[in-house]
Amino acid sequence: MNDLSPSREERIANLKGLGCSRKRVEDVRFTQGKGNYVDDIKLPGMLQGDFVRSPYAHARVISVNKEAALALPGVIAVLTAEDLAPLNLHWMPTLAGDKQMVLADGKVLFQGQEVAFVVAEDRYIAADAVELVEVEYEELPVLTDPFAALESDVVLREDLEGQSAGAHGPRRHHNHIFLWEEGDKAATEQVLDSADVVAEEMIYYHRTHPCPLETCGAVASMDKVNGKLTLWGTFQAPHVVRTVASLLSGIEEHNIRVVSPDIGGGFGNKVGVYPGYVCSIVASIVTGRPVKWVEDRMENLMATAFARDYWMKGRIAATKEGKITGLWCHVTADHGAFDACADPTKFPAGFFHICTGSYDIPVAYVGVDGVYTNKAPGGVAYRCSFRVTEAAYFIERMVEVLAIELGMDAAELRRINFIRADQFPYHSALGWEYDSGDYHTAWDKALAAVDYAGLRREQAGRVEAFKRGETRKLLGIGLTHFTEIVGAGPVKNCDILGMGMFDSCEIRIHPTGSAIARLGTISQGQGHATTFAQILASEIGLPADSITIEEGDTDTAPYGLGTYGSRSTPVAGAAAAMVGRKIRAKAQMIAAWLLEVHEGDLDWDVDRFVVKGAPERFKTMKDIAYAAYNQAIPGLEPGLEAVSYYDPPNMTYPFGAYICVMEIDVDTGEHEIRQFYALDDCGTRINPMVIEGQVHGGLTEALAIAMGQEIAYDDIGNCKTATLMDFFIPTAWETPNYTTDFTETPSPHHPIGAKGVGESPNVGGVPAFSNAVHDAFRAFGLRHAHMPHDHWRIWKIANQLGLHG
């Protein structure tokens, strides 16, 4: 046009599209305290619900007396299982094909279980009324150990008595849920029998909890006049909640509106459906008034979805030279009182069979036994894809144990076993098709960045100094190379409650060249409003700043399966890219008409279509948007809108190399993280600033899990860690600075090559921290010690190795 027109670089910069560290649009609200979280919702006439919970882990409920509570002024109702039974709502289906009591039906199966729901004018009255509900219990024997549960005569789930099969096949004992197997057992065992070297270990990944800073809650409002139910809540998957609510209540889906407002962190905790949601809905239907329920932190830690609790028995075979020849694993999975894992239906152990990790292992077998115990239900993907954290921890510990068995350096052992770049797409022995990767390059970059050889020399010197009595501190070098699997779908394999795990994006371009896009996912801090706009900006050539992103309202957002398992970028991000391409296709036709050329004579260039060979002749997307609404174009409908439902052809496989350098005080069990280097390869990088933030956050959650965070029970099933005094969440003081780095191996099947990153740092971080602890004691004979590595357990390692003199 004229000389003043911006340069191509300027036009690219102006979009703030892919690869740009765009500042987050959400933050203007959040920094002013203007977020809108569920507890901020206040409706006229709103009542408050609160639970009476079981103090016992296993007991028969003899009676519930609500009289005194009902007599308290301001108490509107007290609901028990008896009240819910006529509506058939005293039990509800879980995401894992089991069912769960909404309110105690005859017995309680874990401490903190919901027994009665009090509804009152405000939260103070509700809390007073909870104290006044008299429940008579008769204690029953408690099973907290899954191995003992499988031997015990005590029947936990009397409701299942006589059922020899569950949702995932045969049950061999009344406390058994399923056995799930993958791989070639016979071939694997044959390899193990004839191998040069076999390392065997029991690896426990302890029970923990996602514990987002905001607890779970909901506000239900049944409008009896128009028959519409509105439900606001902490939902990582609002559409799934709507479908479940409809199935449960019999209210048709179009009469239910589910809204996820801002969510104060989810990390898997907010995927499931909890009794509090159901009770709020029922209470609103019964009272005709809006009802709010927000749990407190103790309730959150005691009763909502836990994570992990996998006892992983492993055997790994190798040649004398260290080439891995086979991997065998059996897991005893403690699922608690109800099987409420949030896994895709066909995968009762999630994607645990990614446990061959980054290594080219010719043959493998996995078997997982799910077991009922008197603990809270759950088993969610705490900042990881379904059971991938467990798998990564397992293989990264097994490799270390094998290195000890072989007397080899653990970095070298990994290197000689990595899947090579030329082997991708790689078919793993347990059935996955890894999309892309270049592990050797990442590994070498990581080792060089920390001066690995220098660290080993320093460590050797330290061991000598320790032996001479000159220091009481040991140095641990924790290595990890992990491969994640994220982005469920594809629909042919992955569904939740029968709903295929696709995701969606809908976009409407306004005449003046701004746009609104809606997605089936929901941000819990990942910055979707920022990054999805960036994907769209690059695809359609409108500035990210003029694209509004909306999520979380089932009345407006297209159907989608929600945000967990790092699936937003791989699935909804792809839907965004695809919808952008649909827009561009139509825009091209419009541009051709406006410029009076054939479509094929146009090239797309950043934000415009340009006539081939005539760069001065072009139409920008902004021009085209205007024309789409204001000009009658022959053969084309007016408007510029599109929707895309994306069913991914495969999952994506982000990977990374993490190295943790840790100082350990042998006498007190305290540790100090001296250095943490994290290299992530998440394919195409949409917003480096957001990626870095995700890595920092995920590593800090990994630090917590590895170094102290657990949900622990005593022998009679009391939860010992239900406050933030005992449930370890590090403060800024205990948290180190991290160095982040990257390589970029795009996913070949994803429209923009992105793989997802939110959960990698937790998957890779836990083994890195844990391996550092183990490595510090390797020279003194340590093979394996269970997490979490809090002060006393590290002290115990030293003590058992005789290091306390």
Partner 1 sequence: MTKMHIKLTVNGKAEELLAEPRELLIHVLRERLNLTGAHIGCETSHCGACTVEMNGKSVKSCTVFAAQANGAEITTIEGLGSPDALHVLQRSFREHHGLQCGFCTPGMITRAHRLLQENPAPTEDEVRFGMAGNLCRCTGYQNIVKSILAAASEINAAQEAAE
Partner 2 sequence: MIPAAFEYHRPVDVTSAASLLRRLGDEARVLAGGHSLIPMMKLRMAAIEHLIDLQDIDALKGISIDGDTVTIGAMVTQAELIAHEGLAKVAPILREAALQIADPQVRYMGTLGGNVANGDPGNDMPGLMQALGAAFLLTGPDGAREVAARDFYEAAYMTAREEDEILTAVRFTAPPGGYAYEKQKRKIGDYATAAAAVLIGKEGGRVAHASVAMTNLSDTPVWSPAAAKALTGTDCGPEAIRAATEAALADIDPTEDNRGPVAFKRHVAGIIITRAIQRAWSRA
The piece of 11-19, 343-351, 455-463, 718-726 that touches partner 1 (CB under 8 A) is: 718-726
d(CA 178, CA 167) in angstroms, rounded, equals 8
Q: How far is the CB of 793 from partner 2 (least distance, A)?
A: 8
Choosing among partner 2, ligand FES, partner 1, none, which partner's interface includes residue 39 (Cβ < 5 to 8 Å by kind)? partner 1
d(CA 360, CA 134) in angstroms, rounded, equals 60
Selected binder of partner 1 within 233, 264, 350, 656 (CB under 8 A): 264
Selected binder of partner 2 within 228, 323, 440, 791 (CB under 8 A): 791
d(CA 294, CA 265) in angstroms, rounded, equals 15
CA of residue 15 relative to chain centroid, distance: 31
For residue 380, what are the CA distances in angstroms to 282, 485, 587, 707, 726?
A: 26, 15, 43, 20, 21
In the complex with ligand FES, which residue's Cβ is closer, 62 or 213? 213
**Residue type at position 692:** E
Q: How far is the CB of 221 from partner 2 (least distance, A)?
A: 23
User: Within positions 666 to 705, which residues make up the interface with partner 2, using CB under 8 A?
Assistant: 667-670
Query: Do the beta carbons of residue 349 and residue 119 sit within 8 Å?
Result: no
User: Which position's Cβ is nearest ligand FES?
Assistant: 213
| Cβ neighbour number for residue 185 with a 10 Å cutoff | 15
- Residue identified by tokens 């660290």 is 455
Q: Is 296 in the site for partner 1 (CB under 8 A)?
A: yes
Selected binder of partner 1 within 1, 7, 42, 637 (CB under 8 A): 42
Q: How far is the CB of 214 from ligand FES (least distance, A)?
A: 8
The piece of 264-272, 343-351, 418-426, 448-456 that touches partner 1 (CB under 8 A) is: 264-272
d(CA 436, CA 566) in angstroms, rounded, equals 17
Q: Which residues fall within 8 angstroms of residue 533, CB to CB, at 6 or more apart? A: 22, 25, 517, 544, 545, 547, 548, 549
- Residue identified by tokens 């609200």 is 29
Q: Is 696 in the site for partner 1 (CB under 8 A)?
A: yes
Query: Do the beta carbons of residue 366 and residue 355 sit within 8 Å?
Result: yes
Choosing among partner 1, ligand FES, partner 2, none, which partner's interface includes residue 193 (Cβ < 5 to 8 Å by kind)? none
The piece of 14-22, 59-67, 126-134, 201-209 that touches partner 2 (CB under 8 A) is: 126-134
- The catalytic position among 114, 299, 390, 759 is 759
Q: Is 692 in the site for partner 1 (CB under 8 A)?
A: yes
Q: How far is the CB of 252 from partner 2 (least distance, A)?
A: 38
Choosing among partner 2, partner 1, ligand FES, none, which partner's interface includes residue 281 (Cβ < 5 to 8 Å by kind)? none
Q: Is 712 in the site for partner 2 (CB under 8 A)?
A: yes
Choosing among ligand FES, partner 2, partner 1, none, which partner's interface includes residue 527 (Cβ < 5 to 8 Å by kind)? partner 1
Q: Between helices 760-778 and 388-406, what is the axis angle to 10°?
A: 20
d(CA 747, CA 752) in angstroms, rounded, equals 8
**Residue type at position 481:** H
Which stretches of 298-412 are assigned E, i.e. beta strand?
A: 307-318, 324-336, 364-372
d(CA 62, CA 502) in angstroms, rounded, equals 46
Burial label for 545, CB within 10 Å (0-12, 13-18, 19+), is middle
b/e string for 398-415 if b means 16 or more Cβ within 10 A? bbbbbbbbbebebbebbb
b/e string for 421-451 if b means 16 or more Cβ within 10 A? eeebebebbbebebbbbbbeebbeebbeebe
d(CA 408, CA 636) in angstroms, rounded, equals 68
Q: Is 359 in the site for partner 2 (CB under 8 A)?
A: no
Q: Is there a catalytic annotation at residue 279?
A: no
Query: Do the beta carbons of residue 579 and residue 541 sit within 8 Å?
Result: no
3-state secondary structure of 79: strand
Q: Is 730 in the site for partner 2 (CB under 8 A)?
A: yes
In the complex, the residues that contact ligand FES under the rule CB under 6 A are 213, 265, 525
How many C-alpha atoms does 104 have within 13 Å on its Cβ side?
29
d(CA 176, CA 151) in angstroms, rounded, equals 10
Q: Is 28 in the site for partner 1 (CB under 8 A)?
A: yes
Selected binder of partner 1 within 5, 88, 164, 723 (CB under 8 A): 723
Q: Is there a catalytic annotation at residue 383?
A: yes
In the complex with partner 1, which residue's Cβ is closer, 80 or 531? 531
The piece of 61-69, 148-156, 349-357, 726-734 that touches partner 2 (CB under 8 A) is: 726-734
Of 79, 151, 160, 139, nearest in space to 114 by CA? 79
Q: How far is the CB of 47 from partner 1 (least distance, A)?
A: 13
Selected binder of partner 1 within 232, 738, 769, 795 (CB under 8 A): 738
Q: Is there a catalytic annotation at residue 494?
A: no
In the complex with ligand FES, which residue's Cβ is closer, 264 or 322? 264
Q: Is 790 in the site for partner 2 (CB under 8 A)?
A: yes
- The catalytic position among 111, 113, 236, 534 is 236
The piece of 185-193, 321-329, 508-516, 720-728 that touches partner 1 (CB under 8 A) is: 720-728
Q: Is there a catalytic annotation at residue 759?
A: yes
3-state secondary structure of 570: helix
Of 585, 577, 515, nearest in space to 550 by CA? 515
Q: How far is the CB of 752 from partner 2 (least distance, A)?
A: 41
Q: Is 643 in the site for partner 1 (CB under 8 A)?
A: no
- Partners of 604 in beta bridges: 609
Q: Is 721 in the site for partner 2 (CB under 8 A)?
A: yes
Would you name the residues annotated as active-site residues?
Answer: 236, 383-384, 759
The residue ranges that bind partner 1 (CB under 8 A) are 23-24, 26-35, 37, 39-40, 42, 123-124, 211-215, 262-265, 267, 294, 296-298, 524-527, 689-690, 692-701, 723-725, 729, 731-733, 735, 737-738
The residue ranges that bind partner 2 (CB under 8 A) are 123-124, 127-128, 131, 296-298, 667-670, 708, 712, 720-721, 724-726, 728-731, 733-734, 790-792, 795-796, 799, 804
